[in-house]
Amino acid sequence: MTTDRKLYHLGILLLVGSAFFLSTSGIALRSIEQANGWQILFYRSIALSITVFLFLTYQKGRAVLDEFRGLGWNDVVMAVFFGTGMVAYVFALLYITVANALFILSSTPFVAGILGWIVLRERVAARTWVAIAVSIVGLVIMVGSGMASGHVLGNLIAMYIPIAYAAMIIAVRRSKRESMLGAVCLGGLVAAGLSAIFVTDYALTPRDLGISVYLGVFQVGVGFTLMVLGTRFVPAAQVGLLALVEPVLAPLWVWIGFGEVPTAATLLGGAIIFLAIVCYSVLNILKPQGPNY
């Protein structure tokens, strides 16, 4: 097995692990007692930035500040999209069902594939486009159902998430830096700064504070650290496709924990997306796509 293939498989494992941690957001937010979205965002974002900074300190030691001195415009772009995406993510999950909000992420492969093709000139294989097209069918079924039921604002907020997520993927892949974790740390501060404008009371119950810190340290901290590391080795369109593991798992956790039953349209759309993921993954195992995977 070549080194490139080994790194590709490592990237796949990192991205699947990332999706698992990220998928716990819905059940964590449904466990909140009193805190509002801005309060949750503030503590979640601060916890994220501290977690990433400590990880970088472990990696770099005394040279950790060099990671931030060398930040360029590409890193700032990623930080801004990451920070604003975090805001949209939390409020989408608070305004609409977890299933609807997370499955809207299903459009990420489409956006990432187009951006990767335009910005990075990455070839998108025919099988990837087919899988993306099938996934978009599932997305349309779910979003159409959500709009019809009157959850327009929540769905509109959620629609920004795949745009931000795809832009982050492209920023990571076009970067020549060894790591983009400095930009992730900065993105947490962007989200914290935005939320601080709207927070009127920083006092949370111990339960709510614990959940908010969990969301920052593990759900998004570990989740996005693994995502940034894995994205280095996997083409943009496939990164977005693997990210669909998150919206498949997230509604399942909330269904089991809180009985939040997805609508028939959500289940149908989710089944279509899951089928696309399985078929695409099996096909790649049986017949790799070559240098671009």
Identity of the amino acid at 285:
I
Q: Cα(214)–Cα(223) distance, rounded to whole angstroms?
A: 11
Q: Cα(208)–Cα(191) distance, rounded to whole angstroms?
A: 18
Predicted local distance difference test score (pLDDT) of residue 266: 77
On the question of pLDDT at 121 being above 90, the answer is no
Average pLDDT over residues 7-22: 90
| 138 HSE (CA, 13 A, CB side) | 32
User: Contact 254/26 with Cβ under 8 angstroms?
Assistant: yes
Q: Tens of pLDDT along 244-284? A: 788 778 888 998 888 888 778 878 887 887 788 778 767 76
The structural domains of the chain, with segments of one domain joined by +, span 3-286
Measured CA distances, 13 to 4, 19, 207, 233 (Å): 14, 10, 32, 11
The b/e string for 167-197 (b: 16+ C-beta within 10 A; e otherwise) is bbbbbbbebebebbbbbbbbbbbbbbebbee
Q: What is the DSSP letter of 177?
A: S
Nearest Cα neighbor of 43 from 88, 79, 90 is 90
pTM value? 0.78
